[in-house]
Amino acid sequence: MTTSAGEFEEALKRLEEIVTKLERENVSLDDSVALFQEGKRLSLRCEQLLKTAQSAIETAARSDSPSDPSPRT
């Protein structure tokens, strides 16, 4: 597993923990705000990591495809 994949998995796990805590526990307003802010930061990081992965996949797909994709007759 690469560092980015590991980072994504950890951030996603923490996001799930935050959601569970906010849904199931009696959390004070201050703690709720702090958890929301942490969750927002984590979600932005996950989005960034996914965009990076998508870009790498698209680059790899382009390099694997023929330079002239039109059918030959």
Q: Decide if 73 is inside a domain.
A: no
Q: How far is CA 26 from CA 13, 14, 15, 21, in A?
A: 21, 18, 18, 8
Number of domains in the chain: 1
Q: Decide if 24 is inside a domain.
A: yes
Half-sphere exposure of 35 (CA within 13 A, CB side): 18
Distance between CA atoms of residues 33 and 63, nearest Å: 45
For residue 43, the enclosing domain spans 3-62
pLDDT digits (tens, 9 = 90+) for 9-58: 999 999 999 999 999 989 999 999 999 999 999 999 999 999 999 999 99
Q: Decide if 31 is inside a domain.
A: yes
Q: Decide if 45 is inside a domain.
A: yes
The CA-CA-CA angle for residues 5, 50, 45, to 5°, reads 85
pLDDT band at 65 (very low <50, low <70, confident <90, very high): low
pLDDT band at 2 (very low <50, low <70, confident <90, very high): low
Q: Decide if 68 is inside a domain.
A: no
